[in-house]
């Protein structure tokens, strides 16, 4: 049995991302549904469990395992639980790398090793007896499938693109990235759901890249940032402006949610901005921005008065959207 003090000796690195050399072009597997995945997909994902303290209390552990293609993997182990479920940036984490051997994945780090077999991740420390066993979990957003309330403006429900000036639906009645709505109210509560393709060989901004442009000028990034640090250019970040409070990104091919409370900027008759745009945001039900002031992000229009639409950025990757609706606010 691992002791409390040993646990923190194991996780000696603070807030480290998985050891991935990001920055390359998309290649290899590009799966938009489960029928298209490779054999590595079964190992990637989230794992949760715990160890006993000397007082007999359970201490949570979490792990995120990232498939890198060709049987290669990286992983991060979090002391306190998964991000958004116990772990925060101030807590400890440890990075591991590994590869598949037969029906198992073997992971190694600094003093810590692990093996994934039959949906279980077993962790060991080189200098001490005992082990921790974490089981595969599939978290779901508490707002997944949220129904539009009475009076809501339904932007996309799979029935058509009548609310868009440009937009394409696929055979699954889902909306591809690369869509722009007609002009919308200046301030609103917005719900949308997105699915990231599984692209294990891709890296960096080539890995399931899209973005939600609120008021057609403020980008909330959409990216496969599962298992990463959670920077401003990763999922949930305000692009090149502010990182999310938590990297709440789920693994690829898991439906995810954004729930925004957006207040549009205000301008006087002369075109001078008199009040900034503001945003409160939840990613998969977890607060990632708490009523922050927005500034312009590159790639679309400059700041200006509404009405304006929402743009779902196409960045060369097959990101899909569904269940988009908003409620106007003042």
pTM of the model: 0.90
What are the DSSP E strand ranges found in 80-181?
82-83, 86-87, 92-101, 104-108, 112-117, 120-125, 128-137, 153-156, 164-166, 175-176, 179-181
List the one residue out of 230, 236, 215 whose CA is nearest residue 287.
236
Q: State residue 24's pLDDT score.
A: 41
CA distance 77 to 227: 10
Structure tokens at 9: 């000796």
Whether 282 shows a pLDDT value over 50: the answer reads: yes
CA distance 251 to 153: 30
| Parallel/antiparallel/unpaired status of strands 82-83 and 86-87 | parallel
Whether 4 shows a pLDDT value over 80: the answer reads: no
Q: Which residue has the higher pLDDT, 119 or 11?
A: 119
Percent with pLDDT over 70 in the chain: 91
Q: State residue 310's pLDDT score.
A: 98
Residue 290 exposure: Cα atoms within 13 Å on the Cβ side = 4
Could you tell me what percentage of the chain is helix, strand and coil, using 3-state DSSP and rounding each to the nearest 5?
5, 45, 50
Report how many helices (DSSP H) and strands (DSSP E) the chain contains, helices first: 1, 25
pLDDT digits (tens, 9 = 90+) for 169-219: 999 999 999 999 999 999 999 999 999 999 999 998 889 999 999 999 999
Confidence of residue 26 (pLDDT cuts 50, 70, 90): very low
Q: Mean pLDDT for the chain?
A: 90
The pLDDT of 281-310, averaged and rounded, is 95
List the one residue out of 145, 179, 171 whose CA is nearest residue 323.
145
Q: State residue 5's pLDDT score.
A: 36
Domains of the chain from N-terminus onward? 4-137 (2.40.128), 153-328 (2.60.120.560)
Q: State residue 19's pLDDT score.
A: 36
Q: Which residue has the higher pLDDT, 159 or 20?
A: 159
């Amino acid at each position: 049995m691992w002791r409390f003090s040993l646990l923190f000796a194991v996780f000696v690195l603070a807030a480290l991302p998985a050891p991935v050399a990001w920055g390359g072009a998309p290649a290899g597997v590009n799966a938009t549904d489960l029928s298209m995945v490779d054999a590595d997909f079964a190992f990637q994902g989230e794992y949760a469990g715990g160890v006993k303290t000397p007082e007999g209390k359970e201490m949570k552990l979490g792990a995120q395992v990232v498939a890198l293609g060709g049987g290669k993997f990286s992983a991060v182990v979090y002391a306190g639980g998964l991000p958004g479920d116990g772990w925060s940036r101030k807590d400890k984490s440890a990075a591991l790398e590994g590869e598949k051997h037969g029906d198992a994945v073997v992971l190694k780090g600094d003093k810590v090793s692990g093996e994934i077999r039959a949906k279980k991740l077993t962790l060991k420390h080189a200098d001490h007896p005992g082990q921790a066993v974490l089981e595969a979990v599939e978290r779901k957003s508490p707002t997944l499938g949220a129904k539009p309330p009475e009076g809501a403006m339904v932007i996309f429900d799979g029935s058509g693109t009548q609310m868009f000036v440009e937009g394409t639906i696929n055979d699954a009645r889902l909306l591809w990235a690369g869509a722009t709505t007609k002009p919308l109210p200046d301030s609103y509560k917005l719900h949308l759901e997105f699915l990231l393709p599984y692209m294990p060989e891709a890296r960096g901004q080539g890995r399931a890249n899209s973005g939600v442009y609120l008021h057609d000028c403020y980008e909330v990034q959409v990216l496969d940032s599962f298992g990463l640090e959670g920077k401003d250019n990763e999922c949930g970040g305000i692009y090149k402006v502010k990182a999310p409070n938590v990297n709440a990104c789920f693994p690829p091919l898991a439906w995810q949610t954004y729930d925004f409370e957006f207040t549009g900027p205000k301008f006087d008759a002369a075109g001078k901005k008199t009040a900034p745009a503001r945003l409160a945001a939840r990613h998969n039900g977890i607060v990632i921005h708490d009523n922050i002031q927005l500034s312009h992000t590159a790639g679309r229009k400059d700041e200006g008065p509404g009405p304006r639409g929402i743009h779902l950025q196409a960045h060369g990757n097959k990101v899909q959207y569904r269940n988009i609706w908003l409620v106007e606010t003042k």
